[in-house]
Amino acid sequence: MQNPEVEEIRHSVRSLCAKYGEDYWLELDRERGYPTEFVAELTASGFLTVLIPERYGGAGLGVYEGAVVMEEVCRSGAHAGACHAQMYVMGSVLRHGSEAQKQAYLPKIAAGELRLQSFGVTEPTTGTDTTNLKTTARKEGDVYVVNGQKVWISRIEHSDLMVLLARTTPKDQVRRKTEGLSAFIVDVNEAKGNGLEIQPIESMINHHSCTLFFDDLQVPAANLLGQEGEGFKVILDGMNAERILIAAECVGDGRYFIDKASTYAKEREVFGRPIGQNQGIQFPIARCHAEVEAAWLMVERAARLFDAGEKCAAEANMAKMLASEASWRAGDVCLQTHGGFAFAKEYHIERKFRETRLYQIAPISTNLILSYIGEHVLGMPRSF
């Protein structure tokens, strides 16, 4: 049974996205631009702040509703990567932020006065080996002094705030490797030029990713998110939300490709008949549809568990893996269905194909998900 509230969200997001159109995203991709107008309207409409409680100016909804928003954005042909972090980073702030931090930031984020768009975790030498990160934060009086480097940090040039993970206790001084890490809310505008250097990275997709260099950056102790030394727990909440929301985006991409492929297959005629009448065209599209819809069911399950405050790491990981693989296959079938036309930018397929490919690598690779399932779900020996 369809939920009327969710269907209203879908309809409203779809209508908002239709105002921009795919040519808007094509031009941004060509010039490596940022969708300032789109993000501003998505925020003003309340869709980018659905997770913020009503008392702070948000809609007070859950990750499930957030997933619906992200899925619709991607299905419309838009690039949700330009703004999705505002949702999943919120998972860390909402669950671990102090009341003072929430009062200071959440109303302004909800109003669009501040953007919380970046998650500072990944490093050049550690990647997803998070507990071995090298960035340090040393307590000196009422500030923490940060030194180190981060890489593939997206949207930092278009963000006012960043959640940063750094080691506050050396690894050889803690009992467990997950201890001794701390999370901080960093004011990006204050940090730039005062210990933070930002260098953009040219890449195959318009994701606005950068390398960050920290050189004695001072972060107020009041900006510590959660307890010192327990930052890994803080980040995990954000990571589970991230995987669920990105899985929803992949479902949106998959549905986008299937919509495009099935429409073209019905309209394109070769040898006097629509190409969709041929089983070699029809069956791959139908299979992709089944795979994408199955992935959505796992997204729903993971989101419901997250919103209920229950453990959901396995479901979040499986949702992300299944959805990213389904969207990639749907993109490949869409390319094949369109033939040579698929490579023309005016058809928009190659742009979306590049965008959805990322998600088998980030925010966590497929192999690491399989390793997690093997060890933590099936109880097999650790593979690394």
* Domain shared by 346 and 237, yes or no: yes
Q: Does 23 reside within a domain?
A: yes
In the chain, the number of structural domains is 3
**How would you classify residue 216: left for phi > 0, otherwise alpha for psi between -120 and 50, otherwise beta?**
left
Four-residue CA torsion sign, 356, 311, 95, 130: negative
C-alpha radius of gyration, the chain, whole number: 21
Q: Does 35 reside within a domain?
A: yes
Q: Does 350 reside within a domain?
A: yes
1 pLDDT more than 60 = no
CATH of the domain at 267: 1.20.140.10
133 pLDDT more than 90 = yes
Residue type at 345 in one-letter notation: K
Q: Does 384 reside within a domain?
A: no
* Domain shared by 354 and 237, yes or no: yes
114 pLDDT more than 80 = yes
Strand intervals (E) in the chain: 116-120, 136-140, 143-154, 161-167, 181-187, 196-200, 209-220, 224-225, 269-270, 273-274
Expressed in angstroms, the distance from the first to the final Cα of the chain is 44
Tokens 């040898």 sit on residue: 271
* Domain shared by 100 and 127, yes or no: no
Tens digit of each residue's pLDDT (9 = 90 or more) over 307-356 = 999 999 999 999 999 999 999 999 999 999 999 999 999 999 999 999 99
More confident residue, 281 or 5: 281
Choosing from 201, 231, 261, the residue where a domain stops is 231
pLDDT-wise least confident of 145-159, 229-243, 368-382: 229-243
* Domain shared by 241 and 372, yes or no: yes
Give CA torsion, residues 50, 52, 56, 58, to 10 deg. 0
- At 85 the pLDDT is 86
* 379 within 8 A of 357, measured Cβ to Cβ: no
* Domain shared by 250 and 360, yes or no: yes
CATH of the domain at 53: 1.10.540.10
2 pLDDT more than 80 = no
* 361 within 8 A of 321, measured Cβ to Cβ: no
Distance CA 206, CA 82 (A): 8
Average pLDDT, the chain: 95
Q: Does 334 reside within a domain?
A: yes
Choosing from 185, 206, 231, the residue where a domain stops is 231
Distance CA 108, CA 160 (A): 11
Distance CA 88, CA 118 (A): 10
Q: Does 383 reside within a domain?
A: no
3-state helix, strand, coil in the chain (%, to 5): 60, 15, 25
CATH of the domain at 183: 2.40.110.10
Confidence of residue 90 (pLDDT cuts 50, 70, 90): confident
* Domain shared by 256 and 210, yes or no: no
The pairing of strands 273-274 and 209-220 is: unpaired
* Domain shared by 137 and 267, yes or no: no
- At 327 the pLDDT is 98
Q: Does 331 reside within a domain?
A: yes
Tens digit of each residue's pLDDT (9 = 90 or more) over 135-160 = 999 999 999 999 999 999 999 999 99
Residue type at 282 in one-letter notation: Q
296 pLDDT more than 90 = yes
* Domain shared by 199 and 103, yes or no: no
Confidence of residue 225 (pLDDT cuts 50, 70, 90): very high
Residues 98, 96, 186, CA angle at the centre, nearest 5°? Answer: 75
Q: Does 310 reside within a domain?
A: yes
How confident is the model over 170-182, as a mean pLDDT?
95
Choosing from 197, 231, 265, the residue where a domain stops is 231
* 312 within 8 A of 302, measured Cβ to Cβ: yes
How confident is the model over 9-36, as a mean pLDDT?
96
268 pLDDT more than 70 = yes
Tokens 């309809």 sit on residue: 11
Containing structural domain, residue 13: 4-110
Confidence of residue 35 (pLDDT cuts 50, 70, 90): very high
Q: Which are the contacts of 236, defined by CB distance < 8 A and separation ≥ 6?
A: 313
- Percentage, residues of the chain above pLDDT 70: 99
Give whole-number Cα distances, 317 to 5, 193, 212, in Å: 27, 37, 27
- At 92 the pLDDT is 87
Confidence of residue 89 (pLDDT cuts 50, 70, 90): confident
- At 3 the pLDDT is 84
How confident is the model over 367-371, as a mean pLDDT?
96
269 pLDDT more than 80 = yes
* Domain shared by 211 and 269, yes or no: no
Distance CA 342, CA 213 (A): 39
Closest CA to 324 of 235, 256, 239, 252: 252
DSSP character at residue 373: I
* Domain shared by 161 and 270, yes or no: no
Tens digit of each residue's pLDDT (9 = 90 or more) over 96-112 = 999 999 999 999 999 99
Tens digit of each residue's pLDDT (9 = 90 or more) over 190-207 = 999 999 999 999 999 988
* Domain shared by 145 and 97, yes or no: no
Distance CA 249, CA 35 (A): 17
* Domain shared by 251 and 351, yes or no: yes
